[in-house]
Amino acid sequence: MKRFYLIIFCLLGLYSSAQISDRNEQNCSGQQQTLHAVLGSGKALIISSQGIDCSICASKAPGWGNWAKLNKTQVAVWGAMTYTYSSNIPSCSSISNWVANYGWTDVFTFIDSAEYYFQSGTPRYLVYDPKDSTLIYSGASESQARSTALAASQVNLTNQKFGLEDLDYIQSRGQLNFRNVPEGNTRIEVYNLAGKKEKSFQLRKDHKVFNISDLPKGIYLLRMSNANSAFTRKIVIS
């Protein structure tokens, strides 16, 4: 039995490693958003690394404000602000001016003080897929970033029919937020490494969030089953 679990962990580890780690960002108004929460809503995410002192960024900024507004039901846009040509950190007043001047009402704009999203220059775009939380584009082409995000967006998911093999989830803040939920009831069970069932949950289209915050840190098996099939994945609670 231990050997069976080990094989499962090795195979499912490949799946887990492909997902982007969750990050929590806060703007100057104190509002917070997390990567996994945005992707869990079914929207693709574009993170736009912009330089306050970057003339190209400034020239393209109004277009991003308009595009984000027109496509906000399908794609979320974040603005990660930095300085391109100095080690200075943008102030909240400079961020507020940028948002007001360029119409970034629908762009979640924050100070990228650690330059997490910045590499060697701006503008730079990162696009994440809501289906599996993976990075699907990284580069300087705004047109490619936009087309990639729109292609990956899942705005019509609620009108599609899914099987158990399509079931997916985002793990964030002690919760599993399930997506691609099939019709009918799906049983969700969490087992520890000793094979003991720790939690169970009845999943439906109108009941998609499963709390796991009360489980101790560690590795668990997540079993998903319905009347037709079943499969198991590994989850890590840290």
| Distance (Å) of CA 195 to CA 171, 174, 191, 219, 221 | 22, 21, 6, 12, 9
Task: Give tens-digit pLDDT for 125-152.
Answer: 999 998 878 899 999 999 999 999 999 8
- Token pair listed for 3: 């050997």
**Residue 211 confidence (pLDDT) above 60:** yes
**Percentage of the chain exceeding pLDDT 90:** 52
**Residue 163 confidence (pLDDT) above 80:** no
Cβ-contact 200, 187 below 8 angstroms: yes
Cβ-contact 80, 51 below 8 angstroms: no
pLDDT band per the 50, 70, 90 thresholds, residue 8:
very low
User: For 26-30, 51-55, 210-214, 228-232, which range has the lowest pLDDT when averaged over its residues?
Assistant: 228-232
Task: Write the CATH number of the domain with boundaries 157-237.
Answer: 2.60.40.3080
User: What pLDDT is recorded for position 154?
Assistant: 64
User: What pLDDT is recorded for position 170?
Assistant: 84
Task: Give tens-digit pLDDT for 68-81.
Answer: 999 998 999 999 99
Locate the domains of the chain by residue range: 24-152, 157-237
**Residue 155 confidence (pLDDT) above 80:** no
Interacting residues of 85 by C-beta distance below 8 A, sequence separation 6+:
51, 53, 54
User: What pLDDT is recorded for position 141?
Assistant: 94
Cα angle for residues 61, 67, 68 (degrees, 5° grid)? 90
The larger pLDDT score, comparing residue 2 to residue 112, is at 112
Interacting residues of 145 by C-beta distance below 8 A, sequence separation 6+:
46, 48, 125, 127, 137, 139
The H or E element containing residue 79 is strand 75-82
Task: Give tens-digit pLDDT for 181-201.
Answer: 888 888 999 999 888 999 999
DSSP 158: G
Q: Does domain 24-152 have CATH number 3.40.30.10?
A: yes
